Structure 1
């Protein structure tokens, strides 16, 4: 029940200031992106989602976007991660959770 509350609390939520280290090939690895999103959600709403699933790495280039999925219990939400800036080996991105569940 608590995890469903997490999903409902973060619906429509926009998280700024998430960051990840960029690999030499100028990508944020899939696992690093998923962990960064989960960490930001936990910090913002006080609970960690059951999982964050992204389709792969994201290019560390300003404006790049990736659609991912947040799972909390049996409820799933889509979310969009957008690269806001890249400075050396640090990329900052925003995360916007869809306002309605996908399932």
Structure 2
């Protein structure tokens, strides 16, 4: 797994929530995380970041589970939202070295 990956990604389909923060759907955020990890390791991982919309706030962190197709091993990761500029943002993904399961 990858320990510490930064990728700038363009977000599509973001919305503005009642809290006035732009948000992205969990599936959209998962795609950005999966794209970043796939570029680094050459294999697209399975990513689960939960079911709640993700706030695009500089420095916010999201815990996502990372796995591989056909493998029950799951790793925790911390994804930091960075460089928020409208609908553009970057993510920094830190995957744990030891699996959760």
Q: TM-score, normalised on structure 1?
A: 0.81
Q: How many residues align?
A: 92
Separation in structure 2 between the aligned mates of residue 68 and residue 18 of structure 1, nearest angstrom: 18
Correspondent of 2:83 among 82, 85, 89: 85
**Residues 1:15 and 2:13 aligned together:** no
Is contact 1:77–1:98 with CA below 8 Å preserved after alignment? yes
Structure 1, gaps ≥5 residues long: 1-9
Separation in structure 1 between the aligned mates of residue 76 and residue 8 of structure 2, nearest angstrom: 17
Which residue of structure 2 lines up, in the alignment, with residue 94 of structure 1? Answer: 92
**Residues 1:44 and 2:34 aligned together:** no
Higher strand share: 2
CA displacement at 1:18 relative to structure 2: 4.0
Separation in structure 1 between the aligned mates of residue 87 and residue 62 of structure 2, nearest angstrom: 19
**Residues 1:64 and 2:60 aligned together:** yes
Superposition RMSD in Å? 1.4
CA displacement at 1:92 relative to structure 2: 1.2
Moved over 6 A (4+): none
**Residues 1:75 and 2:73 aligned together:** yes
Higher helix share: 1
CA displacement at 1:52 relative to structure 2: 0.5
